[in-house]
Structures are given as structure tokens and as C-alpha cells.
Amino acid sequence: MVGLAVLGCGRIGKLHARNVASHPRARLVKVFDVSSEAAAAVAGELGVQAAASVEEAIADPEVQGVLIASSTDTHVELIVAAVEAGKAVLCEKPIDLDLERAQACWRQIAPRRPRVMLGFNRRFDPSFRALAERLRSGEIGSPELLVITSRDPAPPPAQYLRRSGGLLRDMTIHDLDMARHLAGEIVEAHAAGANLVDPMIGALGDIDTCALTLRSRSGALVQITNSRHSAYGYDQRIEVFGARGMLLAGNQRQTSVELWSERHTAARDVVLHFFIERYRAAYAAEIDAFIAALESGAPMSPDFADGLAALELAQAAERSLATGQTVKLSAAR
Amino acid sequence: MVGLAVLGCGRIGKLHARNVASHPRARLVKVFDVSSEAAAAVAGELGVQAAASVEEAIADPEVQGVLIASSTDTHVELIVAAVEAGKAVLCEKPIDLDLERAQACWRQIAPRRPRVMLGFNRRFDPSFRALAERLRSGEIGSPELLVITSRDPAPPPAQYLRRSGGLLRDMTIHDLDMARHLAGEIVEAHAAGANLVDPMIGALGDIDTCALTLRSRSGALVQITNSRHSAYGYDQRIEVFGARGMLLAGNQRQTSVELWSERHTAARDVVLHFFIERYRAAYAAEIDAFIAALESGAPMSPDFADGLAALELAQAAERSLATGQTVKLSAAR
Amino acid sequence: MVGLAVLGCGRIGKLHARNVASHPRARLVKVFDVSSEAAAAVAGELGVQAAASVEEAIADPEVQGVLIASSTDTHVELIVAAVEAGKAVLCEKPIDLDLERAQACWRQIAPRRPRVMLGFNRRFDPSFRALAERLRSGEIGSPELLVITSRDPAPPPAQYLRRSGGLLRDMTIHDLDMARHLAGEIVEAHAAGANLVDPMIGALGDIDTCALTLRSRSGALVQITNSRHSAYGYDQRIEVFGARGMLLAGNQRQTSVELWSERHTAARDVVLHFFIERYRAAYAAEIDAFIAALESGAPMSPDFADGLAALELAQAAERSLATGQTVKLSAAR
Amino acid sequence: MVGLAVLGCGRIGKLHARNVASHPRARLVKVFDVSSEAAAAVAGELGVQAAASVEEAIADPEVQGVLIASSTDTHVELIVAAVEAGKAVLCEKPIDLDLERAQACWRQIAPRRPRVMLGFNRRFDPSFRALAERLRSGEIGSPELLVITSRDPAPPPAQYLRRSGGLLRDMTIHDLDMARHLAGEIVEAHAAGANLVDPMIGALGDIDTCALTLRSRSGALVQITNSRHSAYGYDQRIEVFGARGMLLAGNQRQTSVELWSERHTAARDVVLHFFIERYRAAYAAEIDAFIAALESGAPMSPDFADGLAALELAQAAERSLATGQTVKLSAAR
């Protein structure tokens, strides 16, 4: 049994804690949250101990891996603490809002050859995973055009947005990781943004609508559209067009029911509301992959470098937003 | 160029006349209708002559084939007249409401080895035709279960119903022909009917809802559901389940547009309203097949025997309705 | 916490045991199987006790409800034992292969006003449940035609078939329950069967392909097609056609991926393999409903009478198979 | 009856000629092609006169409108000739490969207030037309994101490509017009291109794969993907995402047949092969709109200014391809 601690008991932390608790080969040892009430609630529900401090949770000798689901500004500090304590880490994206800070974190921990996995949960979605595997198996030849659709059901509150790092680092970062995952390393990025959903978002200096074009080293072009709202639910689709065909992974719904009436035919349910519903299986598979890597010693994937690369891409896209120019990514990686 | 006459200028007669007029290898020579106004309208539109009588239309030496789209009670008489004049015939279904009268017609004309095609237009629907061809090519192995869905958008007026011969001879007959076409000769029939749509229909002694089960000589079982109404349009679907898979032919719509909203997703248009819209291409292909058979001398299909067989099946289904028993079809065919 | 015992540790018993073990408000107290190895395996996996006998499992004072998932011929005996011990029961279908024996069981236990739920798991499938609720809400008006498709992926071994009671009591019984659930009480049944899948099945005196027509008291007609094999997976669909439209509940797949190639477009995965995969959520919801009813004291549904009614329908369908006649159901219910 | 002449008897010219010939309110008066054989073939098929020269065709007093379907480099000259002869014009896109030449053409003919329609046939596709109308009716609120997919089945020969003006003026121009048609005037364009399909295309200095992002004056962002090949047929889709939902117009197929097998389920036909098949109804509707505008005197749409705007957009996209920069469109329009 692999012993794990969960830091942060918000929506995702709670989900992780439950997934660990019900995993056949893992044991949830400790949970922590800056709100001791939040921690106590999760601890009570799952019959585990709430730690009094992150230090206590990390230091527990039964804890082999630490799941970091606290607020973004604490990620770097907690990664460092966990790595220095010799623990493996599964950290929610992004590593940090600031690329340089994330890079510094890496320089600090790298000598320890840390085992850090990044929480790009969508890579573990059964449909996206099947699409990626079939793409790699050569089913449609080499990819030429990718179209990633990613639209949240409704904008978060201003309070969240203010500390979010902006649409590109907060929301698009998932799609940037997916682009790299499917098309390989990205060498160019262009972004066009707009404030169409809510003037409040514009007032915060942020955008709520975005259209990106990326180019991969292999030559494939990737397009992404983002919106902070979507009337019909959390719109999450991927299309990969290749030399010999196309693979699509579509939206998902609660039921398979269709209505045929005098107004419409074949009308389906709205799509699953948001990430908790849509990526339920993905989160469980992510935890499972983390545990399996912990057990086997195999490399963790996606790893810290993937987290840095996505952040670097988000930053490049921001530069493109500001200048209108296509931005080249550092050839170094 | 093949010269043709159209008898009957109602909805289907008009459609036939237009299809003949625009066919590259046919010439519409004459049209006739008991209403000389109706005939004149079609004749005017298409620039042809309205005949003063059926005799005139049939006798015209330029007429090689006669399309009979007049009321059902005139079919037998017109078939005989056309055949005796040495003309080929394309006759709308059914041959007659009365099986014995239809059989007598055949006995009368058979010695002339007549060339008669029956207007089972659905056999010529591009989707149903492709399904039939793929079934025959062995794509799903031998057929085991067939499910035919056939529902009209709205009941016809009482006046029509009174002379229609009842649901089974008027409407189901198309599905009975399709069952034979796809599953081969039918040896058993069972029918259960109901009056759920309009009490007027029950008052006429007819049913408006029907569920049939047939068994083919090859062993396949066929289910048919009929209704005289359908909120979402003319519902015309076929499913063939076989040893190695299933072929479906679905409904058709005016456009490919889908609506995704806060109420529904992927909501399509209602389906094509009725037979004129849904089977437009089928009617044109039927005329084309008739013309091609006239030119080549090849056997016509579906032929008079197919018309008799469908009528016999309708009659057997009526017997089953009345008795609740599965009715065996005469092994004679 | 509700204490439960599971009798029978085969495929479904194991599934029930796991669902109980992971239910937040239930405790799995004991498991039993005639194979003590099978019981020990489940007990070990879930950290519970394997009972040495059914008596021990039923008698345990912590056990409030008994889940009967043993072989069909033991159901009646175990129901009686559990009821006489004052326990609630969730029993897999069918109650017994013999209707009279099942009725006798009821007469024996009825005086105790037993709380017995029947394991018609499909009623709890999220899609079928949503369809049933939307039908009841009047979304498509009153139901007129129902089409139930139910085809297993592959025939069971001869050994299973020999004791199965035949296709109608073993497999169709689920569809018969669904027909009652959606259309209301059934008053007439007709069945046509065939042996098309495997001659071994015919040699056992059974059928492997079946087409049924039922009539409900409300007037709706229901058609069912069954097959013991299906190349593309476990085919489980329901169509309800009503006065104002149609509701469909379609098949389900592992992923949402589509392939577009030079051969096909929009090609989806095969459908979920069999009941364990397709009805995973349904089994969990069934257990949840049983626990909720145990807690609240509310009536259990589906109940013993539903089990009897389905069995009576299967028997009527068998009579129809044998005679070719539509069989009237006893008006008594 | 409206008298029309068709100049150019290639694939599209022939299609136009047939559509005119079968239009109930039009008469095909003359056809012309630089290959007198090509002209004679069409003239023979449709029973009309082949003109010996364009001058003869244009000058014919029975000719009220001229359809220009000759090679692109002749368009300007023929437009001028037809307009100066007082005839209305329906000209295939593009007006010319050179924007300045097209602008000069306009300056030359503008004083005559010419009636010129541009052949952006896709505006007349029944599905795209319905989508545009429903968008305008406000069904999904104001458009925020548009995704246009446009991929040809296979690259044209080098000989064609050499004179095509490049992917953006030859192929993308249709999508640029559609973007303007649906999202309104475009104010910014970005393009990223690649040569992935055939090295021959790169050797000609052209691209075969392209990803564009446009911004409309209203703020909507538009993404377009193009490819010169597509394994599954001519991929033509439009998605419009708006404040209250999404409208999609999908691909079209020859039949509605689906195959369910042990490999795939719900597998549909490949999509219609190319523009002749996919836009058959669109071409007919376009001719009908031209004839109706000729009869009524109503403004023609799309008009010469639409042709100029699309060409200007193609040119801006080329500048973006070359520089990597987002290009602003002249605010003048």
C-alpha cells in the first residue's frame, strides 16, 4: 500500500482525497488545509487524520507521495518541501503563475532527481487517452491539423480571476499541454483574445475569449478556441486530422437519451457541467498512474518539464496577444 | 427516347410526369386525369398534351409505357387496357384492394407475358438501396432480425381513409414489400393493431397504430411498427441485424444543422415531412429503372408478382388482426 | 449504517458485494457462496467475513438486508429463510423458473408483509431511468409504440443454457419487466422465436432469436427483439413513441472517439461488452435504492409482484411460441 | 423567361449551363468556350447554340445575364465586356488573382452601376444558409467564435496550382467570404501555413495546409483550417459559438446507412467527394437567386464588393504568412 497525503481540501483536493481513499493499493494518511474546518470535514468523511501543518503531513513517515492541490501561490514552496523530505509529488497545474519562479524551483530541486508529476488531468480522460494512443499507433498517419475546443460553462468570480494569472495561464494551459501531448513540441504560438463574455473580466485586464494557433516542430498546426462561458455545458473536444484520416473525441453527457419532437430531432442532453463531472474518470486514472509510478519507479508523466513547457507556452501566447506577432518558442528544449 | 403517358395527375402522378419530362432519355407524350383541369395544369406546365380519355393516352403509338397513378379502384382496368395495347406499365401500389381481383387481373394478362412494374418506390431510395446491396454483398452475414419503422406525419382525411382499404393495404403494404425485398419470401405473419391516434379512424373500422411480426422462409424475423401520425415528421427507418453486424438506414433532414443550447445539444431538424420530400430521389430512380428496363428488355422489378405477394401479406396480417393468430402464408409461391 | 449480507459470490454477487462495501451508508457484514473458495476470495478482497452457511449469514443480528445472487433454483428457499428471519431481501431475477413455485413462495411469505425487492437492474440505468421519468412527465404525451432492443454479445455455454429456463425466462424477462415499467400492465403477448445463432441451442430445445409483441392495458403496443449474439457488443436500446414525439435511449461506449477514414466516417467504438460494463452504474443505483428503502421504510420497487408479473409474461410468451396465438394475460392483476 | 449565356464550359460552366437549362424561368441562349469542342458538347447536350466568340454570346439581344465560368485570368475582361453591353453578370470567384486589377475593374465599371453577382456558392448551401438565417434570427445570441473547416479531397495537378494564385486566393477565399458572411466585416487576419501534403506544392512556393485566425469588427474571432487533402472526402463544416449556444453545420453523405460490426459502430459513408457533389443544391440555388434578382431588380448578393473584400482578405493573410504578424485590414470599408 502506498501512503499519500493531500494538501489542500478544496474541490480538487477533496476529489483527490476520495480517489486515494478508494484506491485498492493506496492509503490516505493525512490531509491538510489552511482552513482547519475544510481539512476536518474531509478527514471525517474519509476516516483519516487532518494534519495540523503541512510540515506534519509531509514529514509523516508513512507518506510516500504528496498531492498538492492548494492555491497556486503555494505550489513551489510545497513542491520544494516535499521533494526535500524525499517524497514524490503530484502537483496541480500550474507550477506557478510566474515562469521564472517555476524555473528557479526546478533548479533548486533538480539535483535531488525528484519524482514530480503535474496534474494535467485531461491526458487521463479515457477518450482523449484513446485518441492519443490511436494517433500514436499510426491509425491516421502523421497529424497535420489539430482543433482543440475548450470552453468553461461560466466565468469564475472576480475574486478568483484576480489571482488566476489570466485566461492563458489559468485555463488555456490545459489545452497547451494537450497540444504538446498530441502534436509534440511547439515552436511557434499566436493568440488573439477578446472580452465578449463579461465586461468585469475586461475591467480586470483579462480576456474571456481566445483563439490560438500553434505550430509543432513536426510541422502540424494546432488551433484552440477558448471561452469563459458555454450555454450547453463544459465544451471539451479534440479533433486530429492526419495524412490518412481524422480522429475526433467529442463531448460527454449524463445519459444517452434523445428527444424527437415537433421542434427538433435527436436532441441530446446538455454536456457534462464542468471538470468535476467531465473528468471524474480522468482524475481517478491520474491518481492511479501516480500510484503505479510510485510503485514501479517508472518515470512520472506528465512531469515537471511538461509543467514548465506549458507555462512557457502560455507566456509566449501572452506576448503574442500583446504584440499581434507570432512568437517563436526557445529552441532549447 | 422512350415515350410515356401518365394516367392520373394527383400528387404522385404529377411527380411522375415531372420526372419523365426531365429524364434525358424519355419523352412525356400524354397525360390524363378524370379531372380535365388537373390534366390541363400538368400538361401546361410540362408542355405536353392532355389526352381526352385514357384510351387516347394508351393508344398513342408514341407511347411505349404507361404510368398508372390514378385511384386504386381503376388500376386493374388500366393495367389490362395498357397490356392489351401492348404497352409496358408502371403501376402505383396496390394493384387493387382486393386480392382476388388482382389475381384475376394477372390471369387475364399473364398469357401476354406483360411487362408490368409495381411502384414500390422505397426500393429505390438511395439509402435503402445501399442497405439492400450491402446486405446482399454479405457485409453482415445472413439477416436474422429486421426492424422497419414507418410512421406517417398525420392521418389522411376520413374521405381518403374510407376508400383506402385500411392501414394494412394502404400504408403497411410498403413495409411488407420491403420485408420481402430484404428478408426474402415471408411464410408467417402476425399483427396487433390499435386505434390511438384519432377516434374517427376507429369509427371507420380502421386502425392507426400497428405492430407486426413476420417470419421469412430463410428464418429471419421481421418487426414493423406503423403509426398514422408522427410529431417529428415522416419516420422511415430500417435496421437489419445479421450474423456479423447490423446495417441501419436512418431518417433524413433538410439540412445538417445542429443546435446546442442550454436546453438540448446536437438537436437536428425535424425529418423530411412526407413521401414527396423523403422519396424524391427514389421516385426519380424508379422512373429511371422503368425506362432502363423498357430500353433493355430486362425483367422489371418489382413486378406484378411482388404486388400480389404484398397484397397477400396484407390480407394475412388482417386475418391475424382479427383472430390473434399467427397466419401461415400459402407455400405455393 | 445498514448491515447487509450477500449470498452467492458469482459475477453479480461479487459486483453487489463491492457496491455494498463502497456505499457510504452500508456495511457488508457477511458473504456466502456454496464454493467456500469463492466466498473467501470476495471476503478477503473486501475485508469481511465469509459465512460458513446461509443460515449463519442470514441470522447475523447485524444483517438487516440479504442480497440473493445465488443460482436461480435457490432463490425461493433463500427468500423464505430471509423473510422468516425478518430481513429485507434484494433478489436477482427470476424469482424461480417455475411460476407456480414463485406464487407459492409469495403465499408463504405474504402474511409477514415482507420487504422484497427484485433485481431488475435496468430500471436503474441512468439513461433508461431518465427516459422513464421524462415519459412520465408527459414530454411526449401518452406512449403508443415501444421498441426494445436487447441482444447479448455471445451465447452462454450449454451448461448454463440447460438450467436457464430458456431464452424467455432467462433473458427476455428483463425486457418484459421494462415493457411493464414503461407501458404499464401488459394484457396480451405474442412471440415468434427461431434458432439462428447456434444449432447447439436448438438441440437443447431452446431458441436464440426472438421477436415479441405486447399490448398494454393503456393500449400501447410494445415490440421486443432478442438475440443471443451481437457482433458489435451488448445491444441495449429503448424507443418510446408517443402522441407528441419520441424518446430514445441508445447504446453506450467506452470512449467518445470517432474515426473518419477513407472507408468510413464517424465510426464509433463497439458498444460496452456486456451487462457488467453496461449496467455498472445501474447496479450501484439499485443497491442504493435498496438501502434507501431499508432506511426510510418506503415501499421497495420493483417488488415481488413485479417479479411474478414478469415471470407470468414470460410464461405467456412461451405459450404463444408454442401455439402461434396471441395469449391474453390474466385480468386478475 | 430570363435569357442567359454561359462563358466557359469546364466543370462549373457545364453545371451552370445545366442548371439554367432546367430552370423553369430561364432560357439558356448561348454557351461559349475557348475549346469549341467543349462548347459544342454542352450545346449539343442541352439543345442550345454554341457561340463562335464571347462577343457573339454577350451581344445576343436575348441574353440578359452572362455567367462567367472561364479561367480566372479572363474574368475582368469578360466582366467589363458584359457590363458595357448592359448585361448582368454572375462571375465565378475570384474576380482576379490580383487585387489591384480587380479594383481597377471596379473603377472602370462602377459608373454604369453594374449588376454583378459573385459566385460564392457556399452561401447558397441549404445547410449553411439555414445556419446563417438562424444565427441572424438571434437563436444563439451574438457570435463569439467561429470555426470553419474546409479541406479538399486531393490536391489539384501542378499545372492547375501554378496558375491558381496559391492556396489563400484559390481555396481559402471561399472560407474568407463565409467568415465575412457570418461574422461581419473582418478587421484583422493571421495565417500560419505549411507544406505537409505534397512536396511538389512546396516546390511551387505554395502551401497545402493552413490555419487562420480572423477578428471581425463586432469582436468575434474566426478560425479556419484548410488542407489540400482529406482521406474521408470533402470536409466542409461550420461551427458558430455564440452567447446563448452553438450552431453546427456538418458534412453530408450519399446515404444515411450506418454499419455496426465487431470493429466499429455507427460507421457512416465517407462524405460527399467534392464541390460538384456537395454543393449541387447550392449551385442551383445560386442560379435561382441570380435569376430572381434579374427579374426583380433587387440588389445582387454576394456582389462585386464582396469579391473585392475576400480578395483583400486573402492578400492580408498572405502578408501574415510572410511576416508572422497579425495584419490589420483597411478600415476604409
| pLDDT tens profile A183-225 | 999 999 999 999 999 999 999 999 999 999 999 999 999 999 9
| pLDDT tens profile D36-84 | 999 999 999 999 999 999 999 999 999 999 999 999 999 999 999 999 9
What's residue C330's pLDDT? Answer: 77
C245: nearest CA partner in chain B: B231
D13 close contact with C: CB closer than 8 A: no
Report residue B332's pLDDT band, with 50, 70 and 90 as the boundaries: very low
φ/ψ bin of D157: left (φ > 0), alpha (ψ from -120 to 50), beta (otherwise): beta
Report residue D331's pLDDT band, with 50, 70 and 90 as the boundaries: low
A262 close contact with B: CB closer than 8 A: yes
| pLDDT tens profile C87-136 | 999 999 999 999 999 999 999 999 999 999 999 999 999 999 999 999 99
**Read out DSSP for A254-265?**
S--EEEE-SS-B
pLDDT at C332 over 90: no
Of B127, B254, B260, nearest to D256 by CB-CB distance is B127
Whether A285 contacts A296, CB under 8 Å: no
D197: nearest CA partner in chain A: A243
pLDDT at D127 over 70: yes
CB contact under 8 A, B258 and D252: no
Topology adopted by domain A123-282+310-328: Dihydrodipicolinate Reductase; domain 2 (3.30.360)
Domain ranges of chain A: 2-114, 123-282+310-328
Residue A62 CB neighbour total at 10 angstroms: 12
A219 close contact with D: CB closer than 8 A: yes
Whether C126 contacts C155, CB under 8 Å: no
B194 close contact with A: CB closer than 8 A: no
Report residue A332's pLDDT band, with 50, 70 and 90 as the boundaries: very low
pLDDT at C333 over 70: no
pLDDT at C47 over 80: yes
What's residue D208's pLDDT? Answer: 98
Mean pLDDT, rounded, for A23-47: 96
What's residue C331's pLDDT? Answer: 52
Q: Is the dihedral of CA C31, C33, C37, C42 positive or negative?
A: negative
Round the average pLDDT of chain A to a whole number and report it: 97
Spatial CA neighbour of A168 closest among A233, A104, A212, A203: A212
| pLDDT tens profile C187-215 | 999 999 999 999 999 999 999 999 999 99
| pLDDT tens profile C7-21 | 999 999 999 999 999
CB contact under 8 A, D257 and B248: yes
Helix (H) / strand (E) element for C298: namely: none
| pLDDT tens profile A227-280 | 999 999 999 999 999 999 999 999 999 999 999 999 999 999 999 999 999 999
| pLDDT tens profile B21-66 | 989 899 999 999 999 999 999 999 999 999 999 999 999 999 999 9
Report residue B331's pLDDT band, with 50, 70 and 90 as the boundaries: low
What's residue D332's pLDDT? Answer: 41
Q: Closest Cα of chain B to A6: distance in Å?
A: 36
- Cell numbers for C184, please give them: 404499464
B237 close contact with A: CB closer than 8 A: no
Q: Is the dihedral of CA C52, C53, C54, C59 positive or negative?
A: negative
| pLDDT tens profile D149-206 | 999 999 999 999 999 999 999 999 999 999 999 999 999 999 999 999 999 999 999 9
B331 close contact with D: CB closer than 8 A: no
What's residue D287's pLDDT? Answer: 98
CB contact under 8 A, A245 and C260: yes
Of B22, B248, B261, nearest to D244 by CB-CB distance is B261
Q: Closest Cα of chain B to D279: distance in Å?
A: 13
A233 close contact with B: CB closer than 8 A: yes
Mutant choice from C22, C125, C239, C255 vs A, greatest count of A C-beta within 10 A:
C255
Spatial CA neighbour of D105 closest among D253, D311, D292: D311
Chains A, D: CB contacts within 8 A come to 121
- Percent of chain C whose predicted confidence (pLDDT) is above 90: 98
CB contact under 8 A, D130 and B248: no
A258: nearest CA partner in chain C: C248
| pLDDT tens profile C251-301 | 999 999 999 999 999 999 999 999 999 999 999 999 999 999 999 999 999
Q: At A70, phi and psi to the nearest 5?
A: -85, -175
pLDDT at A331 over 80: no
D149 close contact with C: CB closer than 8 A: no
What's residue D282's pLDDT? Answer: 98
Whether A43 contacts A50, CB under 8 Å: yes
Round the average pLDDT of chain B to a whole number and report it: 97
β-sheet with D2-7: strand ranges across: D49-50, D26-32, D2-7, D65-68, D88-92, D116-119
B271 close contact with A: CB closer than 8 A: yes
* Number of residues written out for chain C: 333
Spatial CA neighbour of C76 closest among C172, C7, C17: C7
ipTM beyond 0.90?
yes
From the options 1.20.1070.10, 3.40.50.9100, 3.30.390.10, 3.30.360.10, give the CATH code of D123-279+310-328. Answer: 3.30.360.10
Contacts with D, B 55-114, CB within 8 Å: none
Spatial CA neighbour of C173 closest among C261, C302, C4, C331: C302
pLDDT at D330 over 90: no
CA distance D286 to D292: 10
D236: nearest CA partner in chain B: B256
* D31 contacts: CB under 8 Å, gap ≥ 6: D5, D6, D7, D9, D13, D17, D39, D42, D43, D46, D48, D49, D50, D51, D57
B140: nearest CA partner in chain D: D261
Mean pLDDT, rounded, for A52-69: 97
Round the average pLDDT of chain C to a whole number and report it: 97
Report residue A143's pLDDT band, with 50, 70 and 90 as the boundaries: very high
CB contact under 8 A, B190 and C194: no
CA distance B254 to B103: 41
**Chain A residues inside the 8 Å CB shell of B263:** 267, 270
Q: Class of C2-114 per CATH? A: alpha beta
Spatial CA neighbour of D80 closest among D304, D308, D270, D255: D304
What's residue A330's pLDDT? Answer: 77
CA distance D71 to D93: 10
* Contacts of B among chains (3+ CB pairs under 8 A): A, C, D
